[in-house]
Amino acid sequence: MSAPKLVEELDGVVIRIAGDSGDGMQVTGDRFTHSTAVFGNDLITLPDYPAEIRAPAGTPSGVSSFQIHFSDHPVRTPGDAPNVLVAMNPAALKVSLSELPRGATILVNSDAFDARGLERAGYPANPLTDGSLAAYRVYEIPMTSMTLEAVKEVDIAKKDAGRAKNMFALGLLSWMYHRPTESVTTWIRARFGKRPEIVQANLAALAAGYNFGETADLFASSYIVRPAHFSPGTYTTVTGNTAVAWGLMAAAERAGMALFLGSYPITPASEILHELAARKSLGVLTFQAEDEIAGIGSAVGASYGGMLGATSTSGPGLDLKTETIGLAIMLELPLVIVDVQRGGPSTGLPTKTEQSDLLQALYGRHGEAPLPVLAALSPSQSFDATIEACRIALAYRTPVILLSDAYLANGSEPWRIPRLADLPDLRRAGATQPNHDGQFWPYVRDPKTLVCEWAKPGTPALEHRIGGLEKADGSGAISYDPANHEKMVRLRAAKVAGIANDIPDAELFGDEDAEVLVLGWGSTFGAARAAAQRIGARGQKIAHVQLMYLNPLPRNLGGILARFPKILVPELNLGHLATLIRSTYLRDVTTYGKIQGKPFKASEIEARIMEMLP
Partner 1 sequence: MSASADPAAAITVPALTRKDFTGEQEVRWCPGCGDFAILAAVQSVFAELGIPREKFVIVSGIGCSSRLPYYMSTYGLHGIHGRAVAIASGLAMSREDLSVWVVTGDGDALSIGGNHLIHALRRNVEIKILMFNNEIYGLTKGQASPTSERGKITKSTPHGSLDPSFNPISVALGTEATFVARTLAPDREALTEILRRAANHRGSAFVEIYQNCTIFNDGAFDSLTSPEGRLANQIRLEHGKPIRFGRNKEKGVVVTPDAAVEIVDVAEVGEENLLIHDEHAAKPNLAFSLSRLAGGPNQPTPLGIFWDVERPSYGEMMRAQIEAVRARGGPADLESLWVSGDTWTVE
H or E element, residue 546: strand 543-547
Of 222 and 288, which has the nearer Cβ to partner 1?
288
Long-range Cβ contacts of 231-237 (<8 Å, 24+ apart) = 231/416, 233/416, 233/417, 234/416, 234/417, 235/37, 235/414, 235/415, 235/416, 235/417, 236/37, 236/414, 236/415, 236/417, 237/33, 237/34, 237/37, 237/43, 237/412, 237/413, 237/414, 237/415
Minimum separation from the CB atom of position 344 to partner 1 (A): 24
Which x/- pattern over 482-521 shows residues binding partner 1 (rule: CB under 8 A)?
----------------------------------------
d(CA 261, CA 273): 7
Residues numbered 38 to 57 that lie near partner 1 (CB under 8 A) are 38, 40
Minimum separation from the CB atom of position 466 to partner 1 (A): 6
Minimum separation from the CB atom of position 301 to partner 1 (A): 3
- Binding region for partner 1 (CB under 8 A) out of 21-29, 232-240, 557-565, 569-577: 232-240
Minimum separation from the CB atom of position 603 to partner 1 (A): 30
- Is residue 324 close enough to count as binding partner 1 by CB under 8 A? yes
Is residue 179 helix, strand or coil?
coil
Of these, 246, 396, 454, 592, which contacts partner 1 (CB under 8 A)? 246
Of 176 and 331, which has the nearer Cβ to partner 1?
331
CA angle 79, 74, 556 (to 5 degrees): 100
- Is residue 34 close enough to count as binding partner 1 by CB under 8 A? yes
Residues numbered 255 to 294 that lie near partner 1 (CB under 8 A) are 258, 260, 262, 279-283, 285, 287, 289-291, 293-294
Minimum separation from the CB atom of position 54 to partner 1 (A): 28
- Binding region for partner 1 (CB under 8 A) out of 141-149, 193-201, 324-332, 577-585: 324-332
- Is residue 452 close enough to count as binding partner 1 by CB under 8 A? no
On whether the CB atoms of residues 570 and 611 are closer than 8 A, the answer is no
Residues numbered 192 to 231 that lie near partner 1 (CB under 8 A) are 230-231
Of these, 51, 81, 207, 466, which contacts partner 1 (CB under 8 A)? 466
On whether the CB atoms of residues 560 and 567 are closer than 8 A, the answer is no
Minimum separation from the CB atom of position 477 to partner 1 (A): 6
Torsion angle of alpha carbons 181, 278, 193, 15, nearest 10°? -30
Backbone angles phi, psi at 384, to 5 degrees: -65, -40
Of these, 131, 232, 345, 438, which contacts partner 1 (CB under 8 A)? 232
Torsion angle of alpha carbons 521, 526, 529, 534, nearest 10°? -150
R_g (Cα) of the chain, nearest Å: 27
- Is residue 364 close enough to count as binding partner 1 by CB under 8 A? no
Residues numbered 175 to 194 that lie near partner 1 (CB under 8 A) are 183
- Binding region for partner 1 (CB under 8 A) out of 34-42, 170-178, 405-413, 514-522: 34-42
Of these, 128, 201, 462, 560, which contacts partner 1 (CB under 8 A)? 462
d(CA 592, CA 171): 41
Which amino acid is present at 165? Answer: K
Of 15 and 331, which has the nearer Cβ to partner 1?
331
User: Residue 53 has what DSSP assignment?
Assistant: T
d(CA 587, CA 65): 41
| Distances, alpha carbon 473 to alpha carbons 300, 479, 481, 486, 499, in Å | 22, 9, 10, 10, 21
| Residues at the interface with partner 1 (CB under 8 A) | 34, 37-38, 40, 183, 230-237, 246, 249-250, 253, 258, 260, 262, 279-283, 285, 287, 289-291, 293-294, 297-307, 309, 323-324, 326-327, 331, 417, 419-420, 457-469, 477-478
